Structure 1
Amino acid sequence: MKLKVGDIVARLSYNCDLLFRVQKISGDTVELVGEEMRLWADAPLNDLVLISEEERTKRREKALEKELNSYRLFRQDAKLMKERNEYESTSGYEAEATFFEMRGRVLHLDGDPLYLRKCTDLYERLGVPVYGVHVPEKEMPAQIGSLLEMVQPDILVVTGHDAFLKGKGDENDLRSYRHTKQFAECVRIARKHVAHRDELVIFAGACQSHFETLIRAGANFASSPERVNIHALDPVYIAARVSLTSFMDRIGLWDVLRNTITGEKGLGGIETRGVMRRGMPTKQEYQPEEG
């Protein structure tokens, strides 16, 4: 079988459970990145099978069902939050609603350019302001400081691809993880810029990342408590929930995790406040006095 970079394949030894994109071919070893999951893996050439367009379409339809379900749940929650905000801002609807929202701005660093595009599309659909940057995982610590200075975000997402490599050591040895070390270093650098966890809310991690290290480094939310794979869009749903929640309100951990595609086995966090602020009057209704 002749493979080339960009081909979609599956691993025979794992019963073709996940689809991967071919990232690099080195002799008989192929580096792979997950097509839907934020996983980095390698495999011998003879363990891979090329996936047909028909099979890809079939799997994509199944994956799309899960994505749409998460999107619907999120939109339902967002609608309820907006209705509650209107009620509180108008003294129980006794006054006409004239407030506006300043939603939290996201800086999203992603090690995968295709995932970054998917994520920024979803942010836009959810109405969340975002500045997205593709940065290879190993270069993230060197670039995070200048990006924070430039963007001044309310929310930071540091993600890409990761993996727990069983042959490299035990589960608590960071050398056993492809990129957890880089993600954690980014979080520590970000915390030197903004120490308080409610002034800069951070999500960090990817598939099988060492959750405890990322939380200790200063992340509010991270992956992966049970070292499982997480979906490419999961970081977006967490960041969007923070962006659309008032800074007066705490974010219920179950509320935010239930709208993700992976759930609590792959994602976790600590109690955190939202970052959205309401103001009034709206621009079109505000008329300054002349004189």
Structure 2
Amino acid sequence: MKLNVGDFVARKSYGCDILFRISKIDNEKSVLIVGEEMRLIADAPLADLVLINDNEKSERMVKEKEKIESCYRLFRQDTRLLRQKSEYEMSEGYSSKNSYFELPGRILHIDGDPVYLKKCTELYEKLGVPIYGVHMPEKEMPEQITSLLEMVRPEILVVTGHDAYMRSKGSENDVKAYRNTKYFAEAVREARKFEPHIDHLVIFAGACQSYFETLIRAGANFASSPERVNIHALDPVYIAAKISLTSFMDSVSIWDLLRNTLTGEKGLGGIETKGLLRRGIPIKNSESFYERKKD
């Protein structure tokens, strides 16, 4: 079977459960594969791979789209409730007709996968969240993080890409057994040198099977993966967007936040954190602000 970079494949040994893209062909017997929807990276023997044709790929993508749309609808439902609360407060219990504007928290999203970054950026924009996206290999993130923070000045930082726990390299408590957790953790530590306050810079870090405890200890507010399971490519978006669109007067319920993700508490976790959205009045020039939009 002739395989090329960019081909879609699945692993026979795992029941063809996850759709992968071939990222690199190392030699005639092994290739590097990355999840198309899950933030997983793995080395795979050619003999274990099945080429996924266009029809099967389309069928898988339809099912995946249904899950994503369901999650999106739930997120929008929650944001509508936040809007109703905002409108009540800003209109003094609907007794006035004051217009108001909003300043959502700005997000810097650094992703090790350009395909994922494109998908995430499209979703951020669909949700109405200000986003600055950067693609770079995970190992470069610790070196570049400070200059990016200085340039973008975000309130929210997402450091993600691909990861994997490699059992043959050590126990779950050994950071050396993870493909990219050490780079995510180093990037978080550098970010905390830039902004130590956990409510002034909210950080999400990690990918599939990442060493959750190490990332939280490094200074992340939210991370993956408590049960070392795979997480969806869009999970970091829903966490960051929820923080961005929640008022700084309110804390974000961790359970409500995880309810808006595709993976849930087995793959994601974090600490109590305040929202970052700020509201203001009056509006004199609506083009100057993020004005409240109606659903």
When normalised by structure 2's length, the TM-score is 0.96
Counterparts in 2 of 1:85-234, with a 5 A limit? 85-234=86-235
Counterparts in 2 of 1:232-243, with a 5 A limit? 232-243=233-244
Task: Indicate the residue corresponding to 1:288 in structure 2.
Answer: none
Amino acid at match of 2:17: D
Q: Per-residue deviation at 1:283?
A: 2.3
Separation (CA, whole Å) in 2 of partners of 1:3 and 1:248: 53
Secondary structure in 1 matching 2:13 = helix
Is the contact between residue 158 and residue 203 of structure 1 (CA under 8 Å) also seen in structure 2?
Answer: yes
Is the contact between residue 249 and residue 274 of structure 2 (CA under 8 Å) also seen in structure 1?
Answer: yes
Amino acid at match of 2:80: K
Identity %: 68
User: Deviating runs (4+, > 2 A) in structure 1?
Assistant: none
Secondary structure in 1 matching 2:99 = coil
Is the contact between residue 225 and residue 268 of structure 1 (CA under 8 Å) also seen in structure 2?
Answer: yes
Secondary structure in 2 matching 1:38 = coil
Amino acid at match of 1:111: G
Q: Per-residue deviation at 1:70?
A: 0.6
Is the contact between residue 98 and residue 281 of structure 2 (CA under 8 Å) also seen in structure 1?
Answer: no
Separation (CA, whole Å) in 2 of partners of 1:264 and 1:253: 9
Amino acid at match of 2:46: L
Task: Indicate the residue corresponding to 2:289 in structure 1.
Answer: none
- Provide, for residues 181-217 of structure 1, a one-character-per-residue CA deviation record: whole Å limited to 9, x for no partner: 0000111000011101000000000000000000011
Q: Per-residue deviation at 1:90?
A: 1.4
Q: Per-residue deviation at 1:98?
A: 1.4
Separation (CA, whole Å) in 1 of partners of 2:158 and 2:173: 23
In structure 2, the gaps of 5 or more residues are 287-295
Amino acid at match of 1:202: I
Separation (CA, whole Å) in 2 of partners of 1:87 and 1:127: 21
Is the contact between residue 223 and residue 267 of structure 1 (CA under 8 Å) also seen in structure 2?
Answer: yes
Task: Indicate the residue corresponding to 1:269 in structure 2.
Answer: 270
Separation (CA, whole Å) in 1 of partners of 2:212 and 2:256: 19
Is the contact between residue 112 and residue 160 of structure 2 (CA under 8 Å) also seen in structure 1?
Answer: yes
Task: Indicate the residue corresponding to 2:35 in structure 1.
Answer: 34
Is the contact between residue 39 and residue 229 of structure 1 (CA under 8 Å) also seen in structure 2?
Answer: yes
* TM-aligned CA distance change 1:195 to 1:20, over 3 Å: same
Amino acid at match of 1:247: F
Task: Indicate the residue corresponding to 2:9 in structure 1.
Answer: 9
- Provide, for residues 146-188 of structure 1, a one-character-per-residue CA deviation record: whole Å limited to 9, x for no partner: 0000000000000000000010000000010000000001110
Aligned residue-pair number: 285
Separation (CA, whole Å) in 2 of partners of 1:48 and 1:97: 60
- Provide, for residues 198-257 of structure 1, a one-character-per-residue CA deviation record: whole Å limited to 9, x for no partner: 000000000000000000110000000000000000000000000000000000001110
Secondary structure in 2 matching 1:43 = strand
Name the Cα RMSD after superposition: 0.8
Q: Per-residue deviation at 1:97?
A: 2.9
Separation (CA, whole Å) in 1 of partners of 2:237 and 2:146: 21
1:69 aligned onto 2:70: yes
In structure 1, the gaps of 5 or more residues are 286-291
